Structure 1
Amino acid sequence: MGGSFPAKELSAFENLENLDLSWNNFDGPLTIQVGLSNSRISPYIGALSSLKAISLAYNSLNGTLPKDLCSLKKLLELDLHDNLFEGILPTCLNNLTSLRFLDISRNRFVGNISSYLIASLTSLEYIDLSYNQFEGLFQFNIFAYHSKLKAILLASENNKLEIETEISAGWDFSFQLMILVLSNCNLKLTGNIPKLLLDQRELEIIDLSHNNLNGSFPIWLFENKTRLRELNLQNNSFMGKFHLPPNQCKSIMYMDVSDNHLGGQLQENIGKITPNLKYLNLSRNHFEGYPPSSIVDKSHLLQHLDLSFNDFSGKVPTKLIASRTNLFSLKLCNNQFTGFDLPAAPSKEFGWSELRLLDISNNKLSGMIPRWIGNMTSLQSLVVSNNSFEGQIPCGLPNSLQLVDLSHNSLSGSLPSCLNLQNIEHLYLQGNKLTGPIPKSIFNSSSLLTLDLRDNNFFGSIPYQISAPPNLRILLLGGNNFSGIIPNQLCWLKKIGIMDLSKNSLSGTIPHCFHNMSFGKLYVNDFLYGSYSHDLNSLSLQVGSTFQTLFGWNSGKDYENIVYGQQVAVEFVTKYRSDSYHGDILNYMSGLDLSCNKLTGRIPQELGELSSIHTLNLSHNQLTGSISQTFSNLAELESLDLSHNNLSGEIPPALIALNFLEVFNVSYNNLSGKVPDMKAQFGTFEKSCYEGNPFLCGEPLDNNCTREDESHPSPTKSSNASEGQWYEVDPQVFFASFIGSYIIFFLGVACLLYIHPYWQQRCVNLIEDLKYRCYYPVFDTLKRLSNCLES
């Protein structure tokens, strides 16, 4: 449902106790203005005096909170998270003394969190103020009398919130928390971990991520916490070894200590110490050595393991990738692995596993791509880029694959036609030694979104079957040996946003139909990129149910549908640099690169209709004609390179309207006239952008556009003569020279025929042939005309 919030209609339900309008599309404020005065606000929400619970989460509601919310004295739950509310919280909310559940997270509230506001809400069990624009100091001592409190969530978004967790001497907290989230909060501590955690024995979830905490790994967090299920210490400064205490980690199911300075070898019995662990992230540390085999076992529940960006070395343990375990996601990228710990005689079941994501990129792996990968029938993402794999790509890759990244290896040979990629969405083969034409089978996947074949040795023409994938968004064929014309079938790819055909041997003209492609102009159903993800039967990110406090507290997460995945990334050259674009930004990034080919003809003026394109590179070709005036319509253009062509005429002055243009290059053409005025973005372009065009003039060039004959007029010329044009000539001289040239030409031909009998005979034959060719058509025409007249 959409539209404005139906406050007036709801006010008729006087006895309404529970109101749930979450996960809709309501927008606008909660209030309704009466008349023209902003001071008159209808108290429709306040009329629902029986309300005990209200949930408006996951809408697009905005504006400030109305004060008539404060009149709902029976309210037990107020859930407004994931909206666009803003402004300062009304101080009258302290009247809601019965409130047990308060969630205003993921909005735009500002100011300091009023201590007197929260201090009076002593019935609170759950409070979530996360991801707003709060700032200033927040002191935990305001919770001193909140004996029922079970969950505190105060994750900051703007890094301007400071939290002091210590309490005055002689005081103590009267609550036992189950959930404590203090992420990115600039914690003010006397030690390296909040002391309040010492006495919280019922904690199930602890999140202290992004706080720059230091010291050794706090193993004492596990002491006397038999219910602890989730621990998040990501992005801090803990150092030293990572050793978990035995017999105290059996309940832990989720642990993230990534982005710290932990090092050394992992303890050999880590898998036995954490038998219920489902998610373990140790990435971006300094771990080394060989990962212990106990970390994954058939009897263990581990589903997601991330050891990336460390210094692990040796061979990849077979148990991690080629056995029947519960592991769904495995990231080993950016380490020092050199091979696979394979058994001497692999069984038929070797390689059968439930893995859906395998990332072993940026290591020192070599040899052939293992054929046992074909046995991983559930595998959806395979990333082996930036290694030294060689040989041909095997045919037996799993049919379930949706993302394949084999880029930057030493793979050779042609792409096998037996390669089954019917479900593929993203295929990266850049930077190998692959050759041959592109097989037609590669376009069999109707789901194909990204195709990257750059920097190989592919040759032949671009096949017309390339238009088959209807959702193809990114096409990168640069740096190969493709030849022939650019097929018009490319224009059928309506959703293309980034296309690179540079550094080939393509010839012919630029298709006029390129304006039919989107190049950044998207609609609601065209947003195809994000984090490429899968669902696991593991941890959820939503805490509890909104209405559970009405029927008894249920603390934690449901352990379902954690999102894991491989973020889609693409490198593209724009503004003379190669940038990597990730995830959602790929929906907006757009560019066309046809540089370094053999293209001829004029630049189609229809390219000026690509109003959403960000970069356009047509340099190093043989293009002729002028720069189209329609280019001034490219309102989003940031980079335009037309250099090293044969373009002529003037540079359209209307290009000054391109307010986002950062790179402009028309050097080494045959352009003439005055360059655009040094206004707006054109005031930033140096003369190197125009060099190689000797007939261009004006700033910033050294050539002055004022004519020499105008600046220094000759005194001998009359005013009438000065108004004449430079190409005027004497008519008598012109006709005399023309007649003389005609006579000389006629005499020359006559002498040639007289002297050379062969050409004389050829001339006679030509005249006779022309005579007969003309005679018979004329004779037939006259005869028919005579017959018509007689009849």
Structure 2
Amino acid sequence: MSSRRPQLHFILLLLTYYCPIRIAANGGNGTRVQCLPDQASSLLQLKHSFHNTNLSTWQQGSDCCHWEGVGCDRDSGQVITLDLSDRNLRSFRGLSPALFNLTSLTSLSLSGNDFGHINLPNFGFERLVQLLSLDLSDTSLAGQIPGLFATFSFLRYIDLWGNNFEGKLPTKIFQLENLIYLDFSYNPSLFVQLPNFSPGNHLESLDLWKTNCSGVIPDSFFDRFYPMCAGDIPKCLFNLPNLEGLSLHSNQLSGHLEDISAPLSSHFTSIWLSSNQLSGHIPKSFFQLTKIEVIWLHPNKLEGTIELSLLSGLKYLSMLSLSDNMLSVIDGEYLFPTLPNMQDLHLASCNLTKIPNMLRRQYEMEDVDLSSNNIDGVIPCWLWENGKNSMRFNLSHNMFASRNYSNNSFSSITPAVDIHINNSIYLDLSKNKLNGHIPTSLCGANYEMLDLSYNNLTGSVPSCLIQHGNVKMLKLRNNQLNGMLPENIGEGCMLQPIDLNSNQIEGKIPRSLSNCRSLEVLDIGNNHIVDSFPTWLGILSNLRVLILRSNQFHGSIGSPSEGVAARNIFSGMQIIDLASNNFSGSLNSKWFEKLETMMTNSSTEGNALALDNRSSPGNEYYQEILTFKGIEHTFTKILTTFKMIDFSNNAFDGPIPDSVGKLIALHGLNMSHNALTGAIPSKLADLAQLESLDLSQNKLSGMIPQELNMLTYLAVLNLSNNNLSGMIPEGQQFSSFTNSSFEGNEGLCGRPLSKQCNSSGTGTLDSSVSSQDSVGTIVLFVLVGSGFAVGFAAAVVSSVVFQVKRWNCNHFLFYQ
């Protein structure tokens, strides 16, 4: 079951009172009369309706008033409370009818269990006339919400969030005179239309987050709540005299924000209007709210200019987000007093041209996002000084540039990095114009995630970033780093992904890299590494992605018996890319038999590979650029279910091992541009998930196995430029492939090639060509006969026709 969200997004007033109606279970209610037999019988029937019940105290012959989750009336022995929430119970038949025999129930909670997406029953609930509290949240119930709920005059608490309810919500439920709390959130197919609210309505908490709310919002609604709907944002919202919090984020609200009258005396503490379609200017009165703590306005279509000096009087402000609008944020030249509670500042895509001066005196910031602006120049020392407590500091997608980066900028902030940023974990300076060397002073920080990708950095990779320290994610892709990778990597290495792709790194892969026991992704593609295949990396049980593409690796890839015979090498691998190297030799059958992860199909969609880091501000997914289906793709997330092997552009020879057919989870297999020989293994037909197969530019021979027609997901096939022969399989997937998939195989025939097959399955001429030859022969006979005597012509032409017929056929075949 899904976990309940950390906060309600659609609450105006907190539920300030809620009279307890449940009686303590397990005998804690001082029961005077034992549970009535019919009550115990109904409860046992309910227990038996679950598939995996763990209600150990629910036993025949014992007092049900002492059973877990059950509370009884002291005098009558009737069950009046039933709380089975979060017990991992499962029923594929929905709610048991026996439940409705407990007609004295005042409180019922079945939340956090699984009722198999069965509809809520239309009948039965009408018997529970004394019900005060009903909690069916997160139960996988479906169908329409019965209108009879609106007849429960005593109900005070209804919680149905996180289900699959659909249809129109009975509007009379809102009119229940004693109702205090109502939650229908996270039912996206539930249509809600708000009615008029009578003055005597007691409803205090309403949550319609992620429902399908529509229609006109009645004026009476704003005396109590604010909606989760579309349309223009109501003007009256901003001037409700006692309103403290406004949370309308993630809707489709449009229109302009209204000025707040008397902001100095306003009770507003939070304004959450993110992820809407709001436009126009932000009223200056928003920045005059003396009690405001949160202003969260990203992303919308707000425009205009905002001067950060407007924040100077907001001493309670802790969170400000203006990101991803059409705003221009201007920084003042003077320093205003510290905002003592300020923690989160998001100004991404705000047309900033400099790092705001307001940050000079902010020492307790946790999350700062200045990404995607036009900030250039040198990163100032005071920014690192003040970032000592930051959990996330994002300066990516700017235009920072510094000549002699290590000797000027970073050398001057070395003390600040070493001493003061001990709590920062995330530094992202990717996609800037940084050049120079990577400063070793970064190693003195406490960074767990370091991303300097897509810059112009030069020099070698500082050994301290890999040899020791806290770095878990190192991304240095697309720079101009050179030299050799550092040796002497200790057992304290915590790296999980290493991305050094597209640099100029030389030498060998250091053997001590095997001390990085948590390593999951190693991408050193597109460098100048000269080495043999790193079989020793196979001992890293967590390694899932290995990319060695476009280097100068050489020799064979070995076999399991070489070096690590007693271990399951590469058992967790899901992506292996060895393309464009100088690997040679035959492919060992046992090598592929060790790829255990590729031999198991998953019944789920899988999870995305991400940094194992509880302190991360969010999911830091691994990203890779992979060549799949012949096209270079950027994978922003790598699912654990995605599997591929690319051995293309090497010098492998010998046959393709049958054991490749055991890798049934493969989505892509590329062994093109090698010197492989022998037949295509029919075992490849077992690769049921295969979407792309490229065996082109080899020396493969024999027929194309008919069994490959069974690969129903195969979208890309390239068998061109081999020595294949015989008939191309017909039907199913093969009917979708073009000439380019098979060209360069002189012995192949059949569709889609123009060369048809004869009865023996070998190539023969197209019938139209034979007809043309016959006509040509007849014409030649007539012409010859017209110049010679009939008798002489008969003798000569008989011989000439036979020779010409042979010449025409041979001539045609030669040019074809």
For normalisation by structure 1, the TM-score amounts to 0.71
Does the 8 Å CA contact 1:52/1:76 hold for their aligned counterparts? yes
Query: CA separation in 1, counterparts of 2:266 and 2:101?
Result: 42
Query: CA separation in 2, counterparts of 1:68 and 1:221?
Result: 57
SS, match of residue 505 in structure 1: coil
Aligned-residue sequence identity (percent) comes to 26
Match of 2:639 in 1: 586
Task: Tell me the CA shift for residue 389 of structure 1.
Answer: 0.9
| 1:7-63: CA deviation from partner (whole Å, max 9, x where unpaired) | 58526452248739xxxxxxxxxxxxxxxxxxxxxxxxxx99535351423736343
Task: Tell me the CA shift for residue 488 of structure 1.
Answer: 1.6
| From 87, 97, 100, the counterpart of 1:67 | 97
**Pairs within 5 Å for 1:421-436:** 421-436=468-483
Task: Tell me the CA shift for residue 215 of structure 1.
Answer: 0.5
Does the 8 Å CA contact 1:491/1:517 hold for their aligned counterparts? no
Q: Does 1:383 align with 2:437?
A: no
**Pairs within 5 Å for 1:180-579:** 180-189=207-216, 192-193=232-233, 207-217=247-257, 231-243=271-283, 245=285, 249=289, 253-268=293-308, 271=311, 275-290=315-330, 299-308=339-348, 310-317=349-356, 320=359, 325-339=363-377, 342=380, 350-351=385-386, 353-367=388-402, 368=405, 371=410, 372=413, 373-374=417-418, 375-397=420-442, 398-420=444-466, 421-440=468-487, 446-511=493-558, 512=588, 513-519=591-597, 529-530=609-610, 534=614, 564=618, 566-579=620-633
Does the 8 Å CA contact 2:726/2:761 hold for their aligned counterparts? no
The residue type paired with residue 107 of structure 2 is L
Query: CA separation in 2, counterparts of 1:589 and 1:294?
Result: 54
Does the 8 Å CA contact 1:296/1:302 hold for their aligned counterparts? no
Match of 1:36 in 2: none
Q: Does 1:165 align with 2:203?
A: no
Query: CA separation in 2, counterparts of 1:702 and 1:427?
Result: 53
Does the 8 Å CA contact 1:506/1:599 hold for their aligned counterparts? no
SS, match of residue 464 in structure 2: coil
SS, match of residue 134 in structure 1: strand
Moved more, 482-491 or 288-297: 288-297
Task: Tell me the CA shift for residue 239 of structure 1.
Answer: 0.8
Q: Does 1:114 align with 2:146?
A: yes
Task: Tell me the CA shift for residue 355 of structure 1.
Answer: 0.9
Task: List alignment gaps of at least 5 residues for structure 2.
Answer: 2-49, 71-75, 218-230, 559-587, 766-816
Does the 8 Å CA contact 1:179/1:203 hold for their aligned counterparts? no
Query: CA separation in 1, counterparts of 2:597 and 2:642?
Result: 8
The residue type paired with residue 306 of structure 2 is L
Does the 8 Å CA contact 1:612/1:637 hold for their aligned counterparts? yes
The residue type paired with residue 5 of structure 1 is T
Does the 8 Å CA contact 2:278/2:300 hold for their aligned counterparts? yes
Does the 8 Å CA contact 2:143/2:166 hold for their aligned counterparts? yes
Task: Tell me the CA shift for residue 218 of structure 1.
Answer: 5.3
RMSD in angstroms over aligned alpha carbons?
Answer: 4.2
Query: CA separation in 1, counterparts of 2:56 and 2:334?
Result: 62
SS, match of residue 587 in structure 1: coil
Does the 8 Å CA contact 1:110/1:133 hold for their aligned counterparts? yes
Moved more, 191-200 or 249-258: 191-200
SS, match of residue 651 in structure 1: coil
Does the 8 Å CA contact 1:318/1:342 hold for their aligned counterparts? no
1:460–1:260: structure 2 CA closer, same or farther, 3 Å change rule? Answer: same
Task: Tell me the CA shift for residue 204 of structure 1.
Answer: 6.6
Match of 2:65 in 1: 15
1:708–1:187: structure 2 CA closer, same or farther, 3 Å change rule? Answer: closer
Task: Tell me the CA shift for residue 97 of structure 1.
Answer: 5.0
Query: CA separation in 2, counterparts of 1:295 and 1:136?
Result: 56
Match of 1:5 in 2: 53
Query: CA separation in 2, counterparts of 1:48 and 1:455?
Result: 76
Query: CA separation in 2, counterparts of 1:617 and 1:187?
Result: 52
- Number of aligned residue pairs: 647
The residue type paired with residue 430 of structure 2 is S
Query: CA separation in 2, counterparts of 1:672 and 1:222?
Result: 87
1:488–1:388: structure 2 CA closer, same or farther, 3 Å change rule? Answer: same
Task: Tell me the CA shift for residue 419 of structure 1.
Answer: 2.8
1:242–1:122: structure 2 CA closer, same or farther, 3 Å change rule? Answer: farther
Query: CA separation in 2, counterparts of 1:661 and 1:475?
Result: 28
Query: CA separation in 1, counterparts of 2:547 and 2:681?
Result: 22
1:318–1:142: structure 2 CA closer, same or farther, 3 Å change rule? Answer: same
SS, match of residue 100 in structure 2: helix
Match of 2:808 in 1: none
Does the 8 Å CA contact 1:288/1:311 hold for their aligned counterparts? yes
Does the 8 Å CA contact 2:496/2:611 hold for their aligned counterparts? no
The residue type paired with residue 111 of structure 2 is L
Query: CA separation in 2, counterparts of 1:222 and 1:677?
Result: 79
1:444–1:8: structure 2 CA closer, same or farther, 3 Å change rule? Answer: closer
Moved more, 329-338 or 195-204: 195-204
Match of 1:123 in 2: 155
1:350–1:506: structure 2 CA closer, same or farther, 3 Å change rule? Answer: same
SS, match of residue 141 in structure 2: strand
Task: Tell me the CA shift for residue 390 of structure 1.
Answer: 1.0
1:490–1:233: structure 2 CA closer, same or farther, 3 Å change rule? Answer: same
| 1:670-716: CA deviation from partner (whole Å, max 9, x where unpaired) | 3333333332x33322221222333332322223232699979xxxx
Task: Tell me the CA shift for residue 382 of structure 1.
Answer: 1.7
Moved more, 265-274 or 658-667: 265-274
Query: CA separation in 1, counterparts of 2:495 and 2:213?
Result: 44
Match of 1:50 in 2: 79
Match of 1:627 in 2: 680
Does the 8 Å CA contact 1:380/1:400 hold for their aligned counterparts? yes
Task: Tell me the CA shift for residue 247 of structure 1.
Answer: 8.6
Query: CA separation in 2, counterparts of 1:377 and 1:239?
Result: 41
Query: CA separation in 1, counterparts of 2:392 and 2:556?
Result: 43
Task: Tell me the CA shift for residue 237 of structure 1.
Answer: 0.8
Moved more, 682-691 or 264-273: 264-273
